[in-house]
Amino acid sequence: MYKKIPKNTIHRLPLYLSVLEQLAEESQNQEEFFHSVDLEKLLNIKNSVIRKDLSYFGEFGVKGKGYNIVSLKTALKEILDINVIKKTVIIGCGNIGTAIIKYPYFTKINLEIVAGFDVDPKIIKQKINQTPVYHIDRLVDFLNKEKIQFVILAVPVHASKFILQDLITKTDIHGIINFTPISLKVPKHIKVINSYISAKILEMYFYLKNTNA
Amino acid sequence: MYKKIPKNTIHRLPLYLSVLEQLAEESQNQEEFFHSVDLEKLLNIKNSVIRKDLSYFGEFGVKGKGYNIVSLKTALKEILDINVIKKTVIIGCGNIGTAIIKYPYFTKINLEIVAGFDVDPKIIKQKINQTPVYHIDRLVDFLNKEKIQFVILAVPVHASKFILQDLITKTDIHGIINFTPISLKVPKHIKVINSYISAKILEMYFYLKNTNA
DNA sequence: TTGAGTTTGTGAATATGATCACAAGTTCAA
DNA sequence: TTGAACTTGTGATCATATTCACAAACTCAA
């Protein structure tokens, strides 16, 4: 447990890891080093920010030499708790939900999508990439039995309200990754992370309109 | 053109709009008002933040009374430039790309996905939801001819490098919405907005590990 | 018409995050 | 073995964002 990590630092940690994975793949040598300035060039994040971000978690570098690719990668995996396999479910197996189930990079972060849930009988009982899809009536039981810690919510807006209610009152989940375009009202022991696609597009609209291009 | 809008303010604008859309749907009365405190409860964003955010763009409220739902919604749409129809393309029509093409909420924000691009002959020449899919060789010409302002990039990592190069050197796009798990190196007249799904999951890992649950 | 009750919009104060700049440790060539 | 050249890690400084708190403006009931 660390004391006071800035939110933006947490946002950046996955980016660092992502670049390190690439560097590790490209490098021949296990003992290869790199500098915070190299990372700055790859990520457009100031080297001072990178060093400060890492400093919240310990000292990973060698003065005068830099960071060892492999050992920093290992450290970041530890910080982000990637080494423990996590199980989650997708609630809503429409387009977005299905795409997420098929997303190939989750194995890299030890995420296992153990089930999908939907109401459409055409989808239920099929398997999407070996992942079974059940009726949403079975969601609460499943989460409790399997001790799922967080879920991925990808249902249409109108369905989200009652599902959310069930999640809050009848299960013990601690996190929701929300692909729904609405903001979820949850008790504070539940962490919501939003991935509202339209918001990204609208941000783009704003920038396009307001830059002297 | 506004002067100095905080980044976080821009992130929040789409959320305000999203809530207002909901409120507008639910309200019977065109003349209904609401307060910043109501919004605070719906979004978990402090009312003072909401008021300050709005104040960067003008005065939309009535002292002692609040904001008119419809007119604030209209104002936000103007700020986010939603009223003008925007055209974009999806580069990479795998799972994520296809899901995005089918995403139903884009009509709400006047976004038209006019084409998809891929290299897989099985996908090319099919239509996904009325959207034609072309070979990626035709991307540059298409973007130039149709004067596309921004693209959505959803290709596998290995493909992104040369596509990015083409986008930068041979087209006049000003924005990339990046679903790729790597950070794109672009000249500064191009705005990149990242939507790296694994990052959201890793953030969740971090919070789950570091909260005394 | 009045005035108590609201709620906005916004400067000022506070808190948070980014940047700077440099001591301290390490490397490595001579 | 020495010392110039690096690069980290981190207080101090600067910049940005949030919160506070209140005047100003409006509402509405009496």
CATH code assigned at A29? 1.10.10.10
Q: How far apart are CA B153 and CA B160, in angstroms?
A: 8
Query: How would residue A213 be classed by pLDDT, with cut points 50, 70 and 90?
Result: very low
A32 and A98 part of one domain: no
**Residue A148: helix, strand or coil by DSSP?**
coil
Q: Which of A31, A36, A160, A25 is nearest to A92 (CA)?
A: A160
Q: Which of residues 66-105 of B touch strand C (CB under 7 A)?
A: 66-67
Domain presence at residue B120: yes
**Residue A186: helix, strand or coil by DSSP?**
coil
Contact B22 A182 (CB under 8 A): yes
Neighbours of B31 (CB within 10 A): 10
Q: Which of A205, A207, A210, A212 to mutate to test the interface with B (most CBs of B within 10 A)?
A: A205
What's the total number of domains in chain B?
A: 2
> Count of CB contacts below 8 A, A vs B?
182
Domain presence at residue B206: no
B174 and B192 part of one domain: yes
3-state SS record for B39-82: HHHHHCCCHHHHHHHHHCCCCCEECCCEEEHHHHHHHHHHHCCC
The strands making up B191-194's β-sheet, listed across from edge to edge, are B127-128, B131-135, B111-118, B86-91, B150-153, B175-178, B191-194
A193 contacts chain B (CB < 8 A): yes
Per-residue pLDDT, averaged over B94-104, amounts to 94
Protein residue nearest nucleotide D27, by CA to C1': B64
Per-residue pLDDT, averaged over B42-63, amounts to 95
Q: Please check whether strand D approaches the CB of A2 to within 7 Å.
A: no
Q: Please check whether strand C approaches the CB of A8 to within 7 Å.
A: yes
A128 and A170 part of one domain: yes
Q: Is B128 left (phi over 0), alpha (psi -120 to 50) or beta?
A: beta
Per-residue pLDDT, averaged over A194-208, amounts to 95
Domain presence at residue B210: no
B54 and B94 part of one domain: no
Instruction: Tell me how close the Cα of A58 comes to any Cα of chain B, in angstroms.
Output: 16
Q: How far apart are CA A73 and CA A21, in angstroms?
A: 7
Q: What residues 128-157 of chain A have any CB closer than 8 A to a CB of chain B?
A: 149-150
Query: What is the distance of C-alpha B65 from the center of its chain?
Result: 32
Both structure tokens of A21: 């994975």
CATH number for the domain harbouring residue B194: 3.40.50.720
> Going by C-beta distance under 8 Å and a sequence separation of 6 or more, which residues neighbour residue A85?
A110, A111, A112
What digits encode the pLDDT tens for the residues B152-189?
999 998 899 999 999 999 999 999 999 998 889 899 89
Range of the domain at B153: 86-199
Domain presence at residue B211: no
A46 contacts chain B (CB < 8 A): no
Neighbours of A136 (CB within 10 A): 22
Lowest mean pLDDT of A20-34, A60-74, A134-148, B178-192, name the range.
A20-34
B23-30 LR contacts (CB < 8 Å, sep 24+):
B23/B69, B24/B69, B24/B70, B24/B73, B27/B69, B30/B70
Domain presence at residue B213: no
pLDDT at position A1 is: 64
Closest-approach residue (CA) in chain A for B3: A210
B203 contacts chain A (CB < 8 A): yes
Query: Percent of chain B scored above 90 by pLDDT?
Result: 86
